[in-house]
Amino acid sequence: MAAINQTSSFMRRKSSTSSPSSSSHRLITRASIHLPNISTANLDIFTPKIASNISMVQQMHKLSSITPKNPTLNPNVHPDHEVIMEKLYLILEAVSDRVEMHKNIGEQRNNWNSLLLTCINTMTLSAATMAGITSAITSVPGAPLETLKLSSSFLYLAATGMLVIMNKIQPSQLAEEQRNAARLFKQLESEIKTKIAISQPTLNDVNEAMEKVLAIDRAYPLPLLGVMLEKFPVKVEPAVWWPEKTFSKRCNDKNGWNVELEEEMKEIIKVLEVKDKDDYIRLGEKALKLNKGLAIVGPLLTALGAVGSGILASSPHSSWAMVLGVMGGAMASVVNTIQHGGQVGMVFEMYRSNAGFFKMMQESIEANLKERDVGRRENGEVFEMKVALQLGRSLSELRDVAISSSRNRKDIEEFGSKLF
């Protein structure tokens, strides 16, 4: 009984001591918690961000799963592919170097043209002035006639020698050759980069790129001695800077070709042959004749000026000597300015290059048409667009030119190109 009383008293003490905490618990349970209302109507604005983040994570996962290019680390890559890519990148580096090389040398030879023309004209006019002064002071006692005569003759002879060399190398034509080479190498550089980016190069692609590099090197050589292009050829021929066309791709379908497209390309060949290429060859022949004539007349006039100034004041026909000494120099300066200031050699090279462009297009079309296996040709639709772009025409305009050529076979009126 005493134990029971002790237990009950202990329980009363415990309940009395725990009453504050229990009251606070009741207060907490009875209190109301107020939270702000969150609207879910605008949660859709976060959806694109979440989707973009998910796509970015997926792309990073794909990039992390790409195997290295080293064939020792990636057994799935064939070793020959790595060798082909290495060769193609070596050719690309060489082409990039040639672009800068031809560009710099073209600027240098353009400077040659302007500097040599200025120097030769200055020497020629100085010699003519000295000859005129010598003729004017002939009757003056004690005048330095011999000194003036020798100086005038020496300047004329020096100008004649420099002019012969300048007419031989044609600096303006050399500069145009290097500009063309830089443009063609830049075009080849873009072709190689595109081939690496969108396709899997093969050994045929490497050989084709190498042949194109060597063909441009032969067409536009850098050295002046030994391999310089003939500046006054007997016959004007179009420039050739491309190798022989070969086909290696194979397809099983018609490859975009049909009878109508083949007939259209045949008519385009006729237009390019009869109108465009022949027209630029004709203009090139005219420019060549003009350049030849000026190249002969210029040194001849300076030589006559040297003769006139040499016999001035010592010949009974001193009046004629004065005319040769003064007028020869003046006329030689005019001829030199027309020839080299007008860059007649550059104009001739431009016409020759344009004729070569149309010849290249003609051979490209003929090579596709001669290939009996249609699957090995270039894709017909792509090839038609390429021809239209090279001629500066739309596809409909290109077809209109072909139709006009088929109707007027003997008298073709319209040129194929609208660019130049």
pLDDT in tens, 388-418: 999 999 999 999 999 888 887 667 778 889 8
Alpha helix locations (H) across 222-273? 259-271
Q: Is the pLDDT of residue 381 over 70?
A: yes
Q: How far from 186 is each of 93, 285, 354, CA to CA, in Å? A: 12, 29, 18
pLDDT digit string, tens, across residues 64-98: 343 344 444 444 445 688 899 999 999 999 999 99
| Torsion angle defined by CA atoms of residues 360, 363, 364 and 368, in that order, rounded to the nearest 10 degrees | 180
Q: Is the pLDDT of residue 187 over 90?
A: yes
Burial 47-65 (b: 16+ CB within 10 A, else e): eeeeeeeeeeeeeeeeeee
Percent of the chain with pLDDT over 70: 77
pLDDT at res. 371:
85
- H helix or E strand, kind and range, residue 63: helix 47-64
- d(CA 2, CA 325) in angstroms, rounded, equals 158
Instruction: Identify the three-state secondary structure at position 23.
Output: helix
pLDDT digit string, tens, across residues 14-29: 444 444 444 444 434 4
Residue 307 structure tokens: 């003769």
- 285/419: higher pLDDT: 285
pLDDT at res. 37:
52
Q: Is the pLDDT of residue 49 over 80?
A: no
Closest CA to 240 of 345, 387, 359, 349: 359
The pTM is what?
A: 0.74
pLDDT at res. 153:
92
Per-residue pLDDT, averaged over 125-130, amounts to: 93
Closest CA to 129 of 107, 167, 108, 156: 156
Q: Is the pLDDT of residue 161 over 80?
A: yes
Neighbouring CB atoms inside 10 A of 93's CB total: 11
Per-residue pLDDT, averaged over 166-183, amounts to: 95
pLDDT at res. 46:
44
Instruction: Identify the three-state secondary structure at position 377.
Output: coil
> Letter for the amino acid at 116?
L
pLDDT at res. 10:
44
Closest CA to 371 of 205, 243, 250, 211: 250
- d(CA 112, CA 177) in angstroms, rounded, equals 14
